Structure formats: C-alpha cells, structure tokens
Structure 1
C-alpha cells in the first residue's frame, strides 16, 4: 500500500498587534512549524501531513484565525511513501 507525504510552505501576514496570538494558534496545529517571524507580522510556516486534505484543512484554519490578513502558498511537494510489507524480512 502506498501513501503520500506532503510538505507545504506559506508566508502568513498577520496584524502586528495580535502576532503572538497568531503564532500560538499556528503552533497548535498538527504538522505546523514556524521558521521565521518579523515584527511587521510576517511568518514563514511549513505544514507537513499525510494527505492533501490535511494540508488544506490547516491552510483554511490559518486563514480563519483572527488577525491573519493573508496566507500565501509558496511551495508544495508530494512524495510517495512505500510501506514495508510485513512479508519482507
């Protein structure tokens, strides 16, 4: 059985007054990591997940956060993962 592994990067622009809350909310999302933050409210975010739906759900959640002005998709990569067969040694 084969599965996929998705990695996506975003630039999120948030209102500076609520930046800390936006950061905390993004960090609480499964598979989300923040790599850089500017005082002006820009965040570099990666999302990792096992399906495109999981990635899209997180992007929608980020866009719905209070204080988020925009979330721009920068990169998306899909890699197939092969599960080891139980019959293999």
Structure 2
C-alpha cells in the first residue's frame, strides 16, 4: 500500500495565562510535537499526518482549544511513502 507523509508546521498564538494547559491539550493530539515558544505564548508546532484532511482536522482542533487565539499554517510538505520490500 502506498500512502503519503504530510509534514506541517504551525505557529499557535495562545493566551499567556493558559499556555501550560494549552500545551497539555496540544500534546494529546496524535502526530503533534511542540518545539518552543512556551515563554511567549507563540508555540512552534509540527504535525505529521498521512493525509491532507488530517492536517486540516488537527489545525481546526488546535484552533478550537480554549485559550488559543490563532493557529497559523507556516509550512506544509508531502511526499509519497513507498512500501518497503
């Protein structure tokens, strides 16, 4: 089975007084990693997904978290994944 690998990065602007709770909620989302920005409330987030629909679903899920002001897509790359023989 051939699929795709999607790698995306986001900047998530959050309410400074809710950063810890937002980080906890974001980390609970499958395929998501946080790489910094905790001290400013502007989180650098990457997503690894199998489909473009999953990218959109995860961005929407992040945007709907309480305390998130905006989740902005900065980069998106995808390529086919070849089955290993």
Same fold (TM over 0.5): yes
Cα distance in 1 between the residues matched to 2:4 and 2:25: 26
Stretches of 4+ aligned residues off by more than 4 angstroms: none
User: Whose Rg is larger?
Assistant: 1
Query: Which residue does the alignment assign to 1:5?
Result: 5
Cα distance in 2 between the residues matched to 1:83 and 1:56: 25
Query: Which residue does the alignment assign to 2:26?
Result: 26
Query: Which residue does the alignment assign to 1:64?
Result: 64
Per the TM alignment, residue 38 of structure 1 is displaced from its structure 2 partner at its CA by: 3.7
Unaligned runs of 5+ in 2: none
Using the size of structure 1 for normalisation, the TM-score is 0.90
